[in-house]
Amino acid sequence: MAWKSKLLAGVAGLFLAWPGLAAADPATDAKIAALEAQLALLQAQIADLKVSTGASIAALRTDATTTSATIAGGKPTIATSNGRFSATLHGVMQLDTAKYDQEDRLPAAVTVRDLSGGANFRRARIGVDGKVFGNFDYNILFDFGGSGAEDSGRVQELWLQYSGLKPLRFRVGAFAPPLGLEDAASTNGALFPERPAAADIARGLAGGDTRIGAGVIGNGDHWFASAIATGPLVQSLNSGATAFNAPIFDEQQGYALRLAGTPLHGFDWLVHVGANASIVAQPTDLGAAAATRYTLQLRERPELRVDGTRLIDTGQIDARGAQAYGLELAAQTQNLFVQGEYFDISVDRRNPAAGASDPSFKGWYVEGGWVLTGERRKYNITTAAFDAPSVDKPFDPANGQWGAWELAARYSTIDLNYAENSLVAADRVRGGQQHIWTVGVNWFPNPAVKFMLDYYNVSVDRKNTAGLAIGQDYRALNLRSQLAF
């Protein structure tokens, strides 16, 4: 703009300096005055534009570079003031201390069934999640806990998600696909230390922890849907994951689907319904040298993992696929809630022997909680599952505040037997039946700390391949101490 000003000034000077021109033509003088006025107005507008543009650029730079550090609910977070970048640190400690009350003399056929009491870090996690460039979310989480023994460390979750097309979210990486009420709920706020056996077995087919997958998740205020294509588990070559050390030729492929919502709801009540499916389209190929090349195996620990022994187990089934279909139902009114799920699991045999049919298994559970101090469990619309209750009065004895207290009860059953008394040996699956009654009390001193005391009554009815009884009944008491932020 400076050269234009100089040009106009030069032209005006030329007119004024030309002999006889400046003094002889009043019309020319008027035109020159008009040009000078327009020039002055243009220069003023340019100055205003520079000021406003500079202010806008400064504001953008400030938003992009100014960060704030906060701690909300015990979670340290660093974020830019415009919210486009953030990082939240997470940590979880879950220490279980259990005592098993078994019969002094177990049946002669029972081997390696003397469950070991003691202590175990069920989960020991550290990680970070947040946002990059506004619409991209991420989660990086490592776990050093385990079942029966701690692990030397593994990837628990590692995923990237695009959230710019609301209400949908597109995710890829390692994560547990949502496969039911219990599976979708956070383990930090769970009603009991472990998921019901039926729910855990069903989720483990095509989902479960450390599952690699990609898909879409969406939700509104009263609906939730997800469709995930899944692959193998994250391969962990360490002493705590020896099951993953065998060579794999073709990895598993599957699908995890869920549709849920709260069609009935009010100010302080709701009814949740849902359905889910865990489908194995192609089992893992262990190679021609393996005893069972394409294998699926359903097994589970008795809803407590201080001892890692699995008391029900189908053994390896030569399979070309499997499906688990689940139904969800829950209701909440104020500080009382009840939920349950039913699962139907079937396995498609590969090249079955004469007389052998495709096995199927069933399981279900019902559980409920009552918060004695009046708080209610939060229903998370982004996961369509219940979370821990709020803590209205964090523990502070000096002011007569004792945190939130909750009573809990559950009954779960799973039947992994199929044609167990068939005359055709190839048709029989003697995985066993398991029934567990559990009652407990949960104490939340504050939103980051939790203590759980649970009593288990376990009954396992099972025969081995020779037809001898290897089941047992026992009781257990567990105390979990938890810090989660």
Residue 465 is predicted with a pLDDT of 86
Q: pLDDT (tens digit, 9 = 90+) per residue, 357-398?
A: 999 999 999 999 999 999 999 999 999 999 999 999 999 999
* SS3 (DSSP) at 225: strand
Alpha-carbon gap, residue 420 to 18, rounded angstroms: 118
Alpha-carbon gap, residue 173 to 129, rounded angstroms: 14
Contacts for 163 with CB less than 8 Å, ≥ 6 apart: 135, 136, 137, 169, 170
Alpha-carbon gap, residue 196 to 179, rounded angstroms: 13
**What pTM was computed for the model?**
0.83
Residue 467 is predicted with a pLDDT of 87
Contacts for 425 with CB less than 8 Å, ≥ 6 apart: none
| Residue 242 scores a pLDDT above 50 | no
DSSP-derived secondary structure letter, 234: P
Question: Do residues 125 and 144 make contact, with C-beta atoms less than 8 angstroms apart?
Answer: yes
Name, of 52-56, 445-449, 464-468, the range with top average pLDDT.
445-449
Tokens read off for 194: 């472990």
Closest CA to 459 of 471, 470, 469: 471
Contacts for 404 with CB less than 8 Å, ≥ 6 apart: 371, 373, 375, 389, 390, 391, 392, 393, 443, 444
Residue with tokens 């495709």: 358
Contacts for 74 with CB less than 8 Å, ≥ 6 apart: 446, 447, 448, 485
Contacts for 264 with CB less than 8 Å, ≥ 6 apart: 270, 271
Please name the helix (run of DSSP H) or strand (run of DSSP E) that holds residue 238, with its range, or none: none
Bond from prior residue into 302 cis (ω within 30 degrees of 0): no
Alpha-carbon gap, residue 122 to 134, rounded angstroms: 34
Alpha-carbon gap, residue 371 to 31, rounded angstroms: 87
Lowest mean pLDDT among 101-110, 147-156, 204-213, 363-372: 101-110
Closest CA to 213 of 254, 163, 257, 155: 254
Q: How many CB atoms lie within 10 A of CB 66?
A: 11
Question: Do residues 343 and 325 make contact, with C-beta atoms less than 8 angstroms apart?
Answer: yes
Tokens read off for 258: 């869920």
DSSP-derived secondary structure letter, 175: -
Contacts for 286 with CB less than 8 Å, ≥ 6 apart: 246, 247, 248, 249, 292, 293, 294, 295
- Please work out, in degrees rounded to the nearest 5, the angle formed at the alpha carbon of residue 413 by the alpha carbons of 411 and 419: 165
Kindly state the average pLDDT of the residues 2-13: 51
Kindly state the average pLDDT of the residues 274-286: 94
Contacts for 217 with CB less than 8 Å, ≥ 6 apart: 168, 169, 171, 178, 225, 226, 228
Residue 56 is predicted with a pLDDT of 63
Q: What is the mean pLDDT of the chain?
A: 89
Alpha-carbon gap, residue 452 to 444, rounded angstroms: 9
| Residue 54 scores a pLDDT above 70 | no
End-to-end CA distance of the chain: 58
